[in-house]
Structure 1
């Protein structure tokens, strides 16, 4: 399993206290893909820009799509621009792929069989492997999971990644998620002001 798929599985675990936003998750998934491409030697990060290496064909289909969409001609794409471009609707693509692979299952919430439907990770070896990686607080996965608001922020005792390129990607993911939250808050304020204007004194 890729880091992105591990992240998706952890993010989809039922949690009554927090629902992961699809926009946040999509940005983090795009970052997870970059981390795996760095690990495979397919890219490096130079001054916050993604520099592709030799064209490669990862075995994972979605990671292969990510590699195929890299900008290979200079000036290379900044990490943050990649997150927004690649991240568009990426959580839906991962959901579809994991459902197709039998890694996700649909369940009805509540006691009634016609209650709202939700998607949960199925009890598979991939889910157990992702959970073990998360429980061990593996630095990359822990950082990505915290970016989408699960499990709090990284602890000072947690070791960080030992790769500068990976660290740059993780920092960009956290920055992009914060930017998205700022946009949400601004829209909420604007919508509230607009509603008050029409409501009148």
Structure 2
């Protein structure tokens, strides 16, 4: 974000310390409808109703708003902001600001939700299915054996552990376990996480199953 003594220049894509140009609110004088936000290179749209801004929607990654819908970016010609847009302040979702493009975990104690960032914009927010938590190391949902997600972040291991050095990718019985309840997950010869099956279940080499089956 620019500080109060500078403004954002669309063409330079940076904050500049000059007076710049201020514009009237985006929906002033516009009829009710949905418009392409050319100040963001048509990567999102905004909706006006009664002369007021009521909604902003981001297009999926690789798509731009063509005036009626989000379409593949190679099919859309976005006009210059100086021609068609009225700059406006909008306090949107800034959780992706300063982050690299890609998946990022959403800070909470569940480790299940993550967001997709692209060019400082939150493109989407997703949640891992039941029995999985988001693994910041692999950038994907990791199976936990249905044990829940309490303390899940502490289950992700550092790269210095060589337990998985000779094991193929996937889950494996923890070599330190004596009751078949603990297992590990490996990828590219690295230990990604350690898990423990819930009560009355054991690890069968693939997943946690009721111990009466073994």
TM bracket (short chain): under 0.3
Where relative contact order (Cα < 8 A, 6+ residues apart) is larger, the structure is: 1
Output the TM-score relative to the length of structure 2: 0.24
Output the TM-score relative to the length of structure 1: 0.25
| Larger-Rg structure | 2
